[in-house]
Amino acid sequence: MSTVDNRIGFVRGAFVPLQDAVIPVMDRGFLFGDGVYEVTAVIEGRLVDNDHHLQRLNRSLAEIGIANPFSIEKWTEIETEIMRRNELRNGLIYIQVSRGVAERAFQYAEDLEPTVVMFPQFSKVQSNPIIETGARIITVPDLRWARRDIKSTSLLAQVMAKHAVKQAGVKEAWMLDGDIITEGASSTAFIVTRGNELVTRNLSQDILPGITRRTIIEIAKRHGLTIVERPFSKAEVLEAAEAFYTSASTIAVPVIEMDGVCVGGGVPGPVFRSLYDAYLQDVMTLPASIS
């Protein structure tokens, strides 16, 4: 199995050891954060929700005017080869696409060749001990730009939020616009009301259209839950029966405390557990990309 030191990535059209990979200084992704990214979980050799992740990548690229360099089939082929070369059975595959290389100027030519970088990370996302105990989280002001629906590589506000998370000794930060939760620093926020409604914010330019969010909602519908897509407040979180967050890198994590105040009785709830277990059951019905 590959390690941090000898992972093989796909950089500017070639499979190369990451320690030897080179990106030009004049790449607009480095100079301006002018690019987007995507991440797909790999569970037991299976690319999870991959078509939806690649569709979101295509949407993000279109929203900022970068031509998608590959078809879904070609992206999947490269991802599978990364899995094979790195013996990756559990972890993540990241895709980053920048507008390309040019002289530093805010304006850009329309015919730049996009820079593509892909790399694996190793983690068993389906075996996170925090699932059993629940996560403590904090809230932070949402300092991001107005197009949060684009999965931009410009992540300074999220970096600041995650540093606050580290300093507070918790697991995640939920971002506040006034008293309204937008989403997590790297996740989608959910609550379960005392009336047993599953609530998450409606899709708009204010939040990223989470792929795991989408799948969890589909599973909740199969389970007969009432799903309400609307903004909710910090006060509603503290009054909720349950709260949790979702992302490709964590699947879903129950929230037991926010800003030092107990949430949902301080233990992971049954709605979270049923959705999480059903998600993993669905994953294991997917065909494996590598054995």
- Does residue 81 contact residue 289 with C-beta atoms inside 8 Å? no
Secondary structure, 3-state, 155-185: CHHHHHHHHHHHHHCCCEEEEEECCEEEEEC
Query: How far is it, in rounded angstroms, from Cα 191 to Cα 162?
Result: 21
Q: Which residues contact residue 252 at a Cβ distance below 8 angstroms, ignoring those fewer than 6 apart?
A: 131, 212, 216, 244, 245, 246, 272, 275, 276, 279
DSSP 291: -
Q: Which residues contact residue 25 at a Cβ distance below 8 angstroms, ignoring those fewer than 6 apart?
A: 31
* Closest CA relative to residue 81, chosen from 10, 17, 20: 10
Neighbours of 105 (CB within 10 A): 10
Query: How far is it, in rounded angstroms, from Cα 26 to Cα 44?
Result: 38
Which residue in the block uniquely carries the two structure tokens 């990309």? 289
Neighbours of 14 (CB within 10 A): 8
b vs e for 38-53, b when ≥16 Cβ sit within 10 Å of the residue's Cβ? bbbbbbebbbbbbebb
User: Of the listed 151, 162, 171, 221, which one is catalytic?
Assistant: 151
Rg (CA), the chain: 19
Question: Which two tokens mark 26?
Answer: 């004049």
- Does residue 221 carry a catalytic annotation? no
- Provide the annotated active-site residues: 151
